[in-house]
Amino acid sequence: MKYDAVVIGAGHNGLTCAAYLAQAGRKTLVLEQRDIVGGCAVTEEIDSQLAPGCRVSTASYIASMLRPEVIRDLKLASYGLQMVACSPTVQTALPDGRVVSWWSDKERMKAGMREFAPDDIVRFFQIEDELHRLAAYLQPFFLESPPDPDKRGIAKFVEMFRVGRRFRKIRGRETAALLQFLTGSLGDFLDHNFKSEALKRLVLSNSLYGKHGGPYQPGTAMGLLFHLLSGGEEEKQGFAGHVIGGMGAITKAMAASCRDAGVEIRTSCAVQSINQAHGKAQGVTLADGSVVDAKLVVSNADPKRTFLKLLSAGDLDAEFRREVEGIKMDGPCGKVNLVLCEEPRVTGMPTSHSKPERSLFTLAPSLQEAEDIYNQAARGDIPDELWVDCVLASNVDPGLATEGKHVLTCFVQYLPYKPKNSSWEFEREKLGDKVVETIGRYAPNMPSSVVARKVYTPYDLEKTFGITEGNIFHGDINMGQLFFMRPLPGWSQYRTPIDGLYLCGAGTHPGGGVTGAPGYNAAKQILRDKTR
């Protein structure tokens, strides 16, 4: 066969996996349906007619947990990758005209809290220290295959030892706290520990992105831990960074690294089906009817797209297909990207803030409002109020916009995948209007400054990027779909029921975000299997 491996999808995990396979001497081909590499980590013009030259991170927009091992092994810095730490890491504009910030510097954070949460200072830093300790126990699992509970004999004891040694220093109280954070309600936790409404909104602003469930639902507290996993070249806990050149700079660097390692990348090359014979992968058939033979097929597509679209019903056991159909997707978020002719003047934004410090502002609801918003979306309604996370990327990277222009990217939740009694074709621009109106309540000059905009509903995310039901994580982040149950119990080792077919996308452990971890783990698993 011409290729040792064919990778479906040139998103960041597909490129990461391909790079490691090529470095190990495997002749690898990457196939991408769009005309650019990057998947959801791309930088594109918002409107080439109304605002030529103004670019934005179309979908994914902040780098938080990109693994330092991936950065180093793929030599991404030498291919132009540059990240600037977000400072503050989170910033929330409040309805009463104040702006509150979450600073990495403890003294600066304390000074701010004296103004908006004086009674919560001691407890806040106690909890922050506890969260850092607990997140450190989970960190080692991020860059390795999850435990396999189906192993038998000596292999089972080896697995038990591998997991157990990660927790050998954990204390009883920490074990209880870890379980509470993984299974408990974010809303209940915040109500129990803090008095300040402003502080609760600030914490909420960074804890439930893209996840199903309002803050009072079980399992929503885990976001407090996940956002403290390390990332960036220096492997800093809780790192969040602006990428110079937008998120597409990450995948552009990855693609360059892949090519130098010998990977062949084809764009505008959609895969129609995965070929298999007698339970073994044989390659793929492309949309134009041509066939690419390969010993291995690695899918960076989500599990539902891989198993239900790229394979025929007869290729898989009916019970397995039924389990795949049950994976919760139903993307609850969208994006609105804007070109502005002036910087939004957010009411209450401190005059002492520099331009980069003004680049972030989240319009977060209260805990109960967030619960109500989710419930409306779950019923199929477009909520009356929206939760909008705004990044004025051009304040950090002026090269993204032309002279006198600014680019603002807005992450919006919660939204229904299918609006009840309507469609996103009809509701799309209404959503854009509502987002602009919402921001205008906090930055009155913003609505009149809009030059161009592009709205991505959950349906548009599915259609544009090929992610089933527009779910940015390739499957909801909940305890029933994580760790050794991701994507399904018994199939968490990146393997599939078809020999030689592997998964490497965010639908596998450890999940979503631009981390490179699923691609890294999948490549290592493939190489171990083939060595055996």
Report DSSP letters for 175-191, one per residue.
HHHHHHHHHS-HHHHHH
Spell out a b/e string for 54-92, using b for 16 or more CB atoms within 10 Å of the CB, else e: bbbbbbbbbbbbbbbebbebbebeebebebeebbbbbbb
- 422 found inside a domain: yes
> Looking at the structure, do residues 444 and 347 belong to the same domain, yes or no?
yes
The answer to whether 204 and 214 are in contact (CB under 8 A) is: no
Residue ranges, the chain, pLDDT below 70:
1, 157, 159, 161, 230, 532
- 504 found inside a domain: yes
What is the model's pLDDT at position 1? 64
Report DSSP letters for 50-108, one per residue.
TSTT-EEESS---B----HHHHHHTTGGGGT--EEE-SSSEEEE-TTS-EEEE-SSHHH
CA distance 467 to 434: 25
> Looking at the structure, do residues 337 and 414 belong to the same domain, yes or no?
yes
- 249 found inside a domain: yes
- 107 found inside a domain: no
User: For residue 321, what is the domain's CATH number?
Assistant: 3.50.50.60
What is the model's pLDDT at position 391? 98
Q: Which among 329, 323, 341 is positioned nearest to 404, based on CA atoms? A: 341
- Give Cβ neighbours of residue 288 (< 8 Å, ≥ 6 apart): none
CA distance 305 to 133: 37
> Looking at the structure, do residues 423 and 456 belong to the same domain, yes or no?
yes
> Looking at the structure, do residues 267 and 217 belong to the same domain, yes or no?
no
Q: Which amino acid is at 61?
A: Y
- 18 found inside a domain: yes
**Is the pTM above the cut of 0.85?**
yes
Q: If you ran DSSP here, which 8-state letter would residue 221 be given?
A: G
> How do beta strands 333-340 and 450-456 pair?
antiparallel
Angle at 270 between CA 303 and CA 44, to 5 degrees: 90
> Looking at the structure, do residues 297 and 229 belong to the same domain, yes or no?
no
Q: Write out the residue range of the structural domain in which residue 135 sits.
A: 118-239
What is the model's pLDDT at position 274? 98
- 140 found inside a domain: yes
What is the model's pLDDT at position 71? 96
- Domain boundary among the residues 465, 481, 513 is at 465
- 224 found inside a domain: yes
Report DSSP letters for 230-275, one per residue.
EETTTTEET--EEETT-THHHHHHHHHHHHHTT-EEESS--EEEEE
- Domain boundary among the residues 221, 239, 257 is at 239
- Domain boundary among the residues 209, 239, 269 is at 239
pLDDT, tens digit, 9 for 90 and up, residues 210-247: 888 999 999 999 888 877 776 777 777 778 899 999 99
> Looking at the structure, do residues 456 and 483 belong to the same domain, yes or no?
no
- 391 found inside a domain: yes
> Looking at the structure, do residues 338 and 454 belong to the same domain, yes or no?
yes
CA distance 391 to 60: 11
> Looking at the structure, do residues 292 and 363 belong to the same domain, yes or no?
no
The answer to whether 363 and 439 are in contact (CB under 8 A) is: yes
CA distance 244 to 257: 18
**Number of domains comprising the chain:** 3
